[in-house]
Amino acid sequence: MKVRQILILSTVLLLSGCGKRVGTAEPPVTATSTAAPTVVTTAAGQEKTEVTTAAHEPPKDLALKGTETLEVYQKISVDEFITEKNVELKNGDSLVDTSEIGEKKITVSYEYEGSIFEKELSYTVKDPTEPVILNGGWSAVHLRGRPFDLSDHVGFADNYDRAPVLTYEGTVDINKTGNYPLKATVTDSSGNSTSWDLTITVADSETVSPDNNARQQFADFAAKYGGDGRRLGIDVSTWQGDVDFNAVKAAGAEFVMIRIGYYYDHIVKDDQFDSNIKKARDAGLDVGVYFYTTDNSEEKLREHARWIAEQLDGSELELPVAFDWEEFSNFQQYGMSIYDLNQLYLAFNDEMKKSGYETMLYSSKNFLNNFWSEDIKDATPVWLAHFVDETDYTGDYAIWQSSCYGKIPGIAGDVDLDILYTPL
């Protein structure tokens, strides 16, 4: 009988030597390698199994370089990040971290002669984007005798910086009525700046402009905008009072977006919501809801979403839950960046979906163009607010709120008029 002896050898972890650059030592490159067992026969005719381990080192001619500079929030994979290579990447689908500006490092894995190696690469994340002016204070009126702060009259935001700095050239005599031209500048933490001219009017009182806006009858609205692939409707809140939804339905409306509540410093349920949603459903109208908020934290937005789900209590909606954040006139007071507000919508959307409800984004043309990310607009239905006869907004939208001066049977005052494009 032959006696078989088994010899077990430990797997060897080999470290490469350190290469050198001018003034900088590169981090070590590690690899793990194993070999299959080999059966050999001894002089005595006995068989034994030996395990040998090949010593692998990184290729001496290794070419592995990455992009030196990336933009903050840029979405880029390791594959896209690498500009030069002569080995196969193992983590090429991973995203490079661009969440903060500054010097960064990334570990890139690659394969060479059956072994996996890692190399650390450096890169810099920068913010090259100028701040955005949301409200230029074009018709700013400052009451005589009151302390002057330009930030009270304008609105601005930065894609990254939560607290860009506002400065201005010129003077305002708060004790003397008149017009005072200023040149304002907003500068972010990376030194990017945006400047514009405006005039501050010091006056004894604010002038209230007369309401000369033409009203649009729903019948005329239907004649102009009705047709195949379109459904016409309205959106309402407590401001419309006690709505006769049977009359609204008889006038030709097919759907209604109903305000469920709003948030300034705490959540308030719309006084008419319960009545509105019951009467609208009884009249045979399709229903969606919207929620107005001024909050600036993801945690609170998730609370809002859970509160909405509680009010709906599992009832089905034919249309989504719309997210309405539109406090842009003095946006800087909320201590957020443009990126932050986009994240708020994503948190709201995620929490609503947990309760089985789809969402949509409500916004005006201006802020859809300058504020909301393309990723969000591509991934969610948009409710466009643009009060013109023909919108020139070039992005996709599911609902167009074309007028806030509509008239329809069943509502005594003004109402917003909406066009829904099907399928949603």
Domain 132-203, CATH class in plain words: mainly beta
Q: What is the pLDDT of residues 224-278, one digit of tens each?
A: 999 999 999 999 999 999 999 999 999 999 999 999 999 999 999 999 999 999 9
**Cα 96 to chain center, whole Å?**
19
pLDDT at 24: 38
pLDDT at 422: 87
Higher pLDDT, 298 or 209: 298
pLDDT-derived band at 10, boundaries 50, 70, 90: very low
Instruction: Give domain limits for the chain.
Output: 5-126, 132-203, 216-421
Strand order in the sheet with 37-41: 5-6, 47-51, 37-41
Mean pLDDT of 406-423: 96
How much of the chain, in percent, has pLDDT values that exceed 70?
87
pLDDT at 57: 84
Q: What is the pLDDT of residues 57-111, one digit of tens each?
A: 888 899 999 999 999 999 999 999 999 999 999 999 999 999 999 999 999 999 9
Q: What is the pLDDT of residues 330-373, one digit of tens each?
A: 999 999 999 999 999 999 999 999 999 999 999 999 999 989 99
pLDDT of residue 12 exceeding 80, the answer is: no
- Output the furthest CA–CA distance in the chain (Å, rounded): 115
Reading the block at residue 346, the tokens are 């994503």
- Average pLDDT score over the chain: 89
Mean pLDDT of 382-411: 97
Q: What is the pLDDT of residues 110-147, one digit of tens each?
A: 999 889 999 999 999 999 999 999 999 989 999 999 99
pLDDT of residue 27 exceeding 70, the answer is: no
Tell me the whole-structure pTM to 2 decimals: 0.83
Q: What is the pLDDT of residues 158-196, one digit of tens each?
A: 999 999 999 999 999 999 999 999 999 999 999 999 999
Mean pLDDT of 315-326: 97
Cα within 13 Å of Cα(165), Cβ side: 8
| CATH number of the domain located at residue range(s) 216-421 in this protein | 3.20.20.80
Q: What is the pLDDT of residues 104-119, one digit of tens each?
A: 999 999 999 889 999 9
pLDDT at 5: 37
pLDDT of residue 45 exceeding 80, the answer is: no
